[in-house]
Every structure is written in C-alpha cells, then in structure tokens.
Chains A and B, each alone.
Chain A
C-alpha cells in the first residue's frame, strides 16, 4: 500500500436560498433567521427559491447561457465561485490538469411541451404517430443538451476551462457522497492533484416534484424544521449549487493556496432500509472514522437530515448515541439531493473557519457550540438510499 496524501479543501462555491458564497450563507445561519421558502407557486408543495444571482458574472457569454437550462446555470455558477475561491479561475495552466467530478440527476424537461402533447393526445386516433410528430416539432434541439446529465460537467469545461478528466455520477444523494469520496481517494492516492467536485439542483420545477410525489415524500403540510415534520415527514426541495476544490496539500502549498479545511475521510454506504439498518450503517461508518476524531470536545456534526421518516428519526437516534453537538442545514437551505452532501461540506468549512456552530433549528439540533471547534462530521441519509459520513478538520 502506498502512502496516502493529505487532501485539503482549497475552494468553496455555494449558492442557495440564503445567498451567494460561503460568507453570506454563514451570516444567515449564524443569525438563525427563518429561511426564504415559497409555498404558493407549487402549492401544496414547498420549495426554497434561489437567492438573486447575476449569471453574467460567472457565465459571461449569453450564447453559453442559452445553451443551458437552469440546473446547469446554477452549477456552472457555483463551480465558478469555487474556482475563484481557490484562486484557480482564469489560470489555464492549472485548469488544464484539474479533474472534475459532478453529481447529477437527469436533466430538465420542457413541461409546456409535455403538457401540450398530453392534452392533444387524448383526441387523436394514432397516438404513436402523434407523439412522434409532436416531439419532432416541439422539442428544442438544445433541450437535449440540458437533459444529458454530463452536460453540467461539459458546460463547466467550456465556460471555466476545467479540462483534466471529467466524470458525472448519477442518482440521488449517493452520487454526491461518492463524488467526494472518489475525488478524495484519487488525490490521497496520487491519482490526481486537483479536483473540482460538486453538484447542482434546480428544485422549482414541476417535473422534479413529480418524481418525489411518486414516492409520496414531498412535504405538503406547513413548513417546519426537518426534525419536526411529524410521523410521515416530508421533503422540501431547495435550489442550490455546491462545488468544492479538493487538492493535495503539497500542490496547494506549492502554489500558495490556503486550506479551508482538510478532508480526512468520506464513506458511502447502502442498505435495504429495513428497520434499524440506517442506524447500523451509520454506526459502521462512524466506527471507521471515530479514531480520527481526535478531540470530542472540539468536534460537531453538520447533519444532512432531509426531514423524511423514518430516516430522520433513525439518524437522530444515531446522533444521540455519538453525543456530539448537532446542527442541520436542511431546515435552512432545503434538500438539494445530489448537491446536498457537498453543500454541507462547504458549510462545514464555514463552521471550521469560524470555530463555532451556527444557530440551532428544530428539536434535533442540540449541544452548545464548543469553543475552538476544529472538526466537523457531515452526515447524509438519502431519501431512499445513500448513507454517508464525511470528516473535515482545521489545518493547523
């Protein structure tokens, strides 16, 4: 076995309903103000909108913006913020060798075109021919490019010039956990020096609500913190883009980049979600990293609980067992599925930089902020699969 290298987070790019950038996000979290949410536009569903953003700042060419749908614009924007934060933006020599891992779902649909076809189809004798003809005439050629999951990565290459390797991991929360896990493992093993990893979620869309309504898990009751959504729970989706720059410590030192945190461990797991299995998987993952939590007096948990039951109660049980102070982010920024774990690692970097926790939200948040907080454990329990733990630490 070769020696494992230190992996740092040297850039964070974050945009959520709370604002743009880690600082704006942190300021809101520290105040503990209720988050912006919209319970009208998609009633009875609730969604977190995106904070106002001027896409021109990260995607200067309108022609590029036109070739993307919103999930891609959000992602390309957040990726640009992360590259800027890491001091890589506009540096082709470094970007040429920067690897890229994106966590994504499917792309966006043209819900108007879909609705038109469904409406028209009821009156026709040959539905097959009708569907073919209407698809040929109603679909925009560029829409396909917004439906291809790897075209967020493709657009990041085009707009920001990140052209090392490029992989897109598919499918719900596990994709986000695995994206960071593989990025960290590749750098630790010397297979990469520099990797941009992230995801984006465009939540304010009927077509994604349809996906979650099929499982009956989108929240339809009044907004409440993730811990307190009743026996059935409920998911509130949030618009967000979250990217991190991961870098070997040697590489970062050689170019004078400062670490926001060290990322020491990432583990991803799955189980069949039978009673007790979520806790069991999380315990197993915890055992694997517990030895690295050097000082329980200076460690805390940033929970990715999504407000679903019984998953959120199972996570709560596990968190009670390990006994560290807990704050959740889902109440504030909603659930960004593939992007959520990555966003929470970004917020974890804010916690480490400020050396303290932000305001609690709901009955599952607890424990007072340790002074000189230096280690953060980030959790994820996905909406149907995907248990994850990540450990980030202050670099002294």
Chain B
C-alpha cells in the first residue's frame, strides 16, 4: 500500500483536495464552471474609473466583489480570501483558525496607488509644483488615517486569516505566478517538509496605470466593441489580451495524508516543469526551445509521455506572439498527435488574470477532469490558417480526459507547465 502513495521517483504523490475560484464569471466553482462550460464571456466595459484617453476600455473585472474605493491590494486580498475559503471548506482540512501547512501566494505586485498619491498631494497643498518631498511631508499623517504601505500585506493578512504555518511566501513570476505558487507547494510536500499546503493566485489590480503599462507594450486588445468578443485566442484577427481579475486557491495534500483522513481527492498534481528563457524581456525565444523544454520537463517529472496527455489548457492569451509560439511549442512536443489533442483557452472567456492565471487555469483544468467536459475557446470565428489546432471552438464538449497539462508563460522568460491527472484507481 505504501508504494501507491509515492510516485515513480519515490516522492510523495501530491493530491488536490480543495478548489476555490473567483473570476469575472462569478464567485465560486459552481458559477464559474457553469458559465465557463457555457461559453459565457466575463469581459465588460470598465466602469470603475474614467476610460477617456485610454486605447483599451474593457476588462474582466470582478464586479461581484468590488466595493467603492477598494485599492488593488484590498480587492486582490478579498478575492484571494474568498477562493481560499472555498478551497479549504471543500478540503475539510484543519480548523477555522488553523490550516495545517504553509501558504504560497501569487499576488499582484503592489505599490502606492494614484488614488493615494493624489490624496497625499491634496493634503500637502504645495505652492507651485507638487513633488515627492511634498508627499513625504504628509505621508505619516496620511498613512496613520489609512494604512502604511507594505509589499507583503496580502500574504500576511491571509496567513493571519487562515492560520497557515510558517512564513507565508509571496512570489512573482509574472503571468506564470499562479502556477509557480502551486509548484512551490508541490516541492514542499515532495520534500516531506509538510503534508499540506495552500497555493493561491490572486490578481485584482485593474487601474488606469496597469492598463496603460500593457497598452504601451501593445499587449492589449483594442477591439473594445463588443467587449465580450475581444479575447479570441488562436484566431487570425486576435490583437492582444484582455486584462482581467480573479483568484484561485488549491489545497495541496500528500495523497497519503488525504487518504488517511478519508478526504475526497479532486485530482493529482503529477508533474511540473520550469525553464527560463533568456532571449528577450517580453518575447519568447523564436525557436520556442524554452517553452518546449518546459513541457518536456513537466512530462518527465510526471513520468509520462506526450501520448498520455488528453487535453491541453493553453496559456492562450490572444496576443499574436503568444498563440503563435504556443502553437509551435505544442506542435513540437506532441508532433502529429497534436491534431487529436484538444487545446482550449479559458482566457477567451475570463481574459488574462495575470498573476492569478496559472492558479485559475490549474483550477479549471481540474474541473475539466472532474466533469469530463472540455471548456471551449470562444470567439473563434476566423481561424488562423497557420495554427492547426483543435481549440474546442466556441462550444464545450464532453470528452474522456484522464490527464491534462496547463501552460503558463510570462514576461521575463518565465515558463511553467503543470501535469494534472485524475486520481489513480
């Protein structure tokens, strides 16, 4: 019996026993899955702030959770907390005040926001130009009425709320962050450092500046009308991603620990691969070698081959560059068989949830396995003739899926691939 609890490499098998999701499609797995498998888009016109002067005026916002004047830090923490609570409740692990394992969190990178700088500038009421020395003059008074800025505040507050063990790790690997959080949890359980871990990716950081930053890199879709048609991964007329908000949480647990307490196993994290790209700060190496190596490493880590994969949850951002390179990557790894492997992009419906994306999409991959149904790639009206893939166009369909991979690629040459499978019989 003991051998079944360890993988082919003798490491503890890592199970998932709890899942929580918040996206622009709703709060909780049930709403999210219903809309995701129903091909519903969560992309809307931005209503949170003025959009005059911006090239992109749409986003996948979490309007069900947002409350007036919340900062990105507060909203990101809120969606992380909701996802975490759902995941922990499903796992039945620990107690209300104590989660028996560490926290690995992929939050958005935080900073003092414009709303805060503007308030400080008003308080400073400088004669003539307003400079940073003016803000500094009132910063203490401003912060004592609000909250002093801390980079790691979300992780700290979540660790406090959930009662996780040890030092909470906040990490960033750009758009692969959510997957990296899961990877860190897998590694810790495999090392035997812990029996369980809470991995959360959360990003609700839509602000004028976050939009402008991606706009200036020409990364965002500008096809604002209608919003729900803008994100069209793998289509010929794709023109960028749609910035979005969301969070997902996974309770990771050694299979042995989960079985011993009679927990329901939702899936197995069989493998993870990671390989950095040194080609360019925002672009993938033109030969695709690092993303190919990432997938190969993930398969090798899981001890399976390309023939064992039934579905690919694509990074599929809807940028011209990503989808072309991902096509090259999967075509190389899976060869001729790629025509028979469905590959779909959740981002066609929820947009790109940035640091949350890797976790959100891992959660959706697990739900895909659980429901034996493939979520579609919507807005697939004009196929790209250079991308010959079964993208599950427009409509979900039932399929036999035992094992899937989930890809995450990010600026800065970050690449992570997860291998997710059903529980072994």
Mark A residues whose CB is within 8 Å of B: 1-2, 67, 100, 104-107, 109, 111, 114-115, 118-119, 121-122, 126-129, 131-133, 135-136, 139-141, 144-145, 147-151, 153-155, 157-158, 161-172, 174-175, 177-178, 181-182, 185-186, 189, 191, 206-207, 209-211, 213-216, 268-270, 272, 384-386
Contact = CB atoms under 8 A, between A and B. Distances in A.
Contacts of B410: 150
A9 B120 CA distance: 45
Given A132-B208, A214-B149, A150 B411 contact: yes
Contacts, number: 232
B414 A166 contact: yes
B167 A174 contact: yes
A269 B166 contact: yes
Contacts of A105: 151
Interface string B277-296: 11111100000001000000
B411 A168 contact: no
Contact of A158 (B51, B180, B193, B413): B413
Give 10 closest A-B pairs by Cβ, nearest first.
Answer: A128-B50, A171-B152, A154-B412, A206-B132, A132-B53, A268-B167, A171-B151, A214-B143, A133-B53, A129-B52
B53 A178 contact: no
A115 B130 contact: yes
Given A118-B130, A168-B173, A191-B187, A128 B52 contact: yes
B262 interface: no
Nearest to B280: A158
Contacts of A106: 109-111, 151
Given A148-B174, A165-B275, A107 B109 contact: yes
A133 B209 CA distance: 10
Contacts of B399: none
Contact of B172 (A2, A115, A170, A207): A170
Interface in B102-160: 107, 109-112, 114, 117-118, 121, 128-133, 135-136, 139-140, 142-144, 148-152, 155-156, 159-160
B167 A386 contact: yes
B227 interface: no
A214 B212 contact: no
Contacts of B112: 207, 210-211, 214
B139 to A, nearest CB: 4
17 contacts: A118-B130, A127-B118, A129-B53, A132-B53, A135-B208, A139-B209, A140-B216, A144-B213, A144-B216, A158-B279, A158-B280, A165-B275, A174-B168, A177-B167, A181-B167, A185-B191, A385-B150
A69 to B, nearest CB: 13
A147 B108 CA distance: 12
Contact of A1 (B130, B192, B208, B280): B192
| Residue of B139, B166, B274, B290 with most chain A CB atoms under a 10 A cut-off | B139
Interface of B: 10, 49-55, 107, 109-112, 114, 117-118, 121, 128-133, 135-136, 139-140, 142-144, 148-152, 155-156, 159-160, 166-174, 180, 184, 187, 190-193, 208-209, 212-217, 274-282, 290, 410-414
Contacts of A114: 117, 132
A132 B139 contact: no
A111 B53 contact: no
B187 A214 contact: no
A289 to B, nearest CB: 15
Contacts of B187: 186, 191
A214 B140 CA distance: 5
A384 B168 CA distance: 14
A168 B413 CA distance: 12
A210 B276 contact: no
A125 to B, nearest CB: 12
Nearest to B169: A178
B36 to A, nearest CB: 28
A384 B50 contact: no
A182 B173 contact: no
A127 B107 CA distance: 29
A118 B172 contact: no
A170 B152 contact: yes
Given A121-B118, A214-B143, A155 B171 contact: no
Nearest to A109: B111
B53 A136 contact: yes
A206 B169 contact: no
Contacts of A215: 143, 148-149
A171 B155 contact: yes
A353 to B, nearest CB: 29
| Residue of B128, B129, B159 with most chain A CB atoms under a 10 A cut-off | B129
B212 A270 contact: no
Contacts of A185: 191, 193
Nearest to A98: B276
A173 B84 CA distance: 25
A270 B281 contact: no
Nearest to A383: B150
A211 B149 CA distance: 6
A210 B132 contact: yes
A126 B50 contact: yes
Given A215-B148, A215-B149, 10 more contacts: A118-B121, A140-B216, A144-B213, A147-B213, A149-B109, A162-B276, A171-B150, A178-B167, A210-B135, A270-B168
Contacts of B49: 128
Nearest to A67: B281
B173 A150 contact: yes
B208 A170 contact: no
| Residue of B110, B132, B180 with most chain A CB atoms under a 10 A cut-off | B132
A215 B151 CA distance: 13
Contacts of A111: 131-132
A67 B412 CA distance: 12
Contact of B212 (A139, A158, A169, A384): A139
Given A106-B109, A166-B413, A213-B139, A272 B160 contact: yes
A132 B52 contact: yes
Contacts of B184: 167, 182
Nearest to B153: A171
| Residue of B114, B151, B166, B180 with most chain A CB atoms under a 10 A cut-off | B151
Contacts of B282: 145
Contacts of B128: 119
Nearest to A44: B136
Contact of A132 (B51, B136, B144, B156): B51
Contacts of B160: 272
Nearest to A384: B150
